Amino acid sequence: MKTRVAIIGAGPAGLLLSHLLEREGIESIIVEAQSSDFVLGRFRAGLLEAASVDVLDEAGLSERLHRDGLEHRGVYVQWPGTKRAVDFVERGGRPVWVYGQSELTRDLSDARFAAGQQMYYNVSDVALHDVDSSAPFLTGVDATGRSIRIDADVIVGCDGFAGVSRDSLAQSLRAVYERRYPHSWLGFFADVPPSSDQIIFAWHPEGFAMHTMRSASISRFHLQVDPHDHISAWSDDRIWETTARRLGSGDNDWTLHTGPITEKSILPLRCRITTPMRHARLFLAGDAAHVVPPTGAKGLNLAIADVTLLARALGAWKRGDESLANAYSDSALRRVWRAAEFSWSWSSALHTTGDPFDDQLQLAQLDWLTSSPTGGAGLAEKFSGVPIAFG
Ligand SMILES: Cc1cc2nc3c(=O)[nH]c(=O)nc-3n(C[C@H](O)[C@H](O)[C@H](O)COP(=O)(O)OP(=O)(O)OC[C@H]3O[C@@H](n4cnc5c(N)ncnc54)[C@H](O)[C@@H]3O)c2cc1C
């Protein structure tokens, strides 16, 4: 097979890229290791920056988002005895949208199927070849066991944290920056109406807690846990008791709705950034190049920003101008590092370390962010995001 752009991975980055490329008049083929049902069944992120929503609006992909998603003007930040609303719009930012990643992936996938996109699911043993040349290609084994080969002008690795494309960047060029955090997140979904009209970020001496939502009947929670904890040690009763203690301490009148827990897992917090995001005819986008702790809700938004820049760059290249393709890695990484800084500083303000001195520093930081116009404006901008642009 032959195409202009071979895309590895049918997560949000790969699916959106193929859609944006089509609008640039560029054909692409997607290969995905998993089945379509598996990809659509994955629950992960759920907060979209205004800039991400702009991209989806312009691409005609946001009808269901505007119908079923929840627009939030801000968040609550709390610690024992105090609960403060930070209104992003009042502080000079823009609203954010609560919309599950699985819903977004479904919208993107439906749009791709409707457009007759060439997508190959259940492809194993994907390997990249000759990315240094002007005729790169990839190989794999399709769902029927048949070997496939796709020749392309460029290959884009949208294959997430566990993908293979990153390894095709020459070792001599590659730099990897990594920070492992000394805590993990226990995340769970419950079939209960949200207990808040906006997302709650809670500092508590016992550990961070967060409450968000997916719909009027599905709630999402995260609890800071020890990185050595195993999910089997967390019964549903223990989870609800801990959640009630940590989230209930900011406001005496607050009530936690409890009910059936439908999914729970423990995720280590880490930041890992691979540079550059382009080498010769290979480009990386989304989690294939970078993962950040979910505290700042940036992972999915960065994936959308990367492919937005990349589609513009490949469009310009098709018209004979390679300058944006040459600028892609630096421009994408500038946004990535800003998101990494926010995810680090926001995580550091909220996750307890067991050191009473750290506790007081964290509370001073949260007090400033939620009471000072300058602190609030910074928080609003970092949450709601800045326009996606080269430079
Ligand atoms: C468990 C978990 C929870 C998360 N929670 C949050 C959160 O609460 N908030 C937040 O902002 N972010 C969160 N994230 C991050 C967010 O989900 C990602 O940033 C987002 O999915 C990135 O999209 P992507 O398309 O780059 O990568 P992915 O969504 O990972 O998609 C990559 C695709 O490539 C496929 N693939 C992998 N290897 C190959 C191969 N060899 N060949 C072919 N295909 C391959 C995969 O199957 C997958 O479909 C979470 C991530 C995880 C893993």
How high does pLDDT run on average in the chain?
Answer: 96
Q: How far apart, in whole angstroms, are the C-alpha atoms of residue 330 and residue 324?
A: 10
Instruction: For residue 91, give every residue at least 6 positions away whose Cβ sits within 8 Å of its Cβ, in sequence order, or none.
Output: 74, 373, 376, 377, 379, 380
Atom 15, ligand 1: which residue's CA is nearest? 299
For a substitution probing ligand 1, which of 167, 283, 287 has the most ligand atoms within 8 Å of its CB? 287
pTM score above 0.75: yes
Beta strand ranges found along the chain (DSSP E) = 5-8, 28-31, 47-48, 70-72, 74-79, 82-87, 96-98, 118-120, 124-129, 137-141, 147-151, 154-157, 175-190, 200-202, 209-213, 219-225, 261-275, 278-279, 282-284, 290-291
Check residue 253 and give its pLDDT. Answer: 83
Ligand 1 atom closest to the Cα of residue 164 is 41
For residue 249, what pLDDT is reported? Answer: 87
* Residue 7 CA to ligand 1 centre (angstroms): 15
How are strands ordered across the β-sheet holding 124-129?
124-129, 137-141, 147-151
Average pLDDT over residues 144-168: 97
Nearest-Å Rg of the Cα atoms of the chain is 21
Would residue 144 count as lying in a domain? yes
Q: Which of 19, 36, 44 has most ligand 1 atoms within 8 Å of CB, for mutation?
A: 44
Confidence of residue 386 (pLDDT cuts 50, 70, 90): very high
Provide the number of structural domains found in the chain: 1
Q: Is the pLDDT of residue 279 over 90?
A: yes
Q: Above 90 in pLDDT, residue 170?
A: no
Domain hosting residue 323, numbered range: 5-68+97-177+271-350
Q: pLDDT band for 80, please (50, 70, 90 cuts).
A: very high
Q: What is the model's pLDDT at position 176?
A: 96
pLDDT at position 171 over 90:
no
Separation between Cα atoms, residue 292 and residue 310, nearest integer Å: 20
Query: Does 203 reside within a domain?
Result: no
Cα–Cα distance for residue pair 42/11, rounded to 1 Å: 10
Whether residue 39 is contained in a domain is answered as: yes
Distance from Cα 303 to the centre of ligand 1, integer Å? 9
Q: Is residue 355 part of a domain?
A: no
Distance 327 CA to ligand 1 centre (A): 25
The pLDDT tens digits of the residues spanning 99-155 come to 999 999 999 999 999 999 999 999 999 999 999 999 999 999 999 999 999 999 999
Rounded to whole angstroms, the Cα distance separating 345 from 361 reads 12
CATH number at residue 332: 3.50.50.60
377: in domain: no
In a domain, 163, yes or no: yes
Per residue in 351-377, pLDDT (tens digit) is 999 999 999 999 999 999 999 999 999
Output the ligand 1 site: residues, CB below 6 A: 8-14, 31-34, 39, 44-45, 101, 123, 126, 158-160, 162-164, 267, 286-287, 294, 297-300, 303
Partners of 228 in beta bridges: none
Mean pLDDT of 216-245: 96
pLDDT at 30 over 90: yes
Is 253 part of any domain? no
- How many CB atoms are located within 10 Å of the residue 357 CB? 8
End-to-end CA distance of the chain: 35
Q: Is 138 left (phi over 0), alpha (psi -120 to 50) or beta?
A: beta
Percent of the chain with pLDDT over 70: 100
Residue 73 domain-assigned?
Answer: no
Q: Is the pLDDT confidence value at 76 over 90?
A: yes
Do 47 and 98 meet the contact criterion of CB atoms below 8 Å apart? yes
Atom of ligand 1 nearest to the CA of 285: 26
Contact in structure between 99 and 65 (CB atoms under 8 Å): yes
pLDDT digits (tens, 9 = 90+) for 34-62: 999 999 998 888 999 999 999 999 999 99
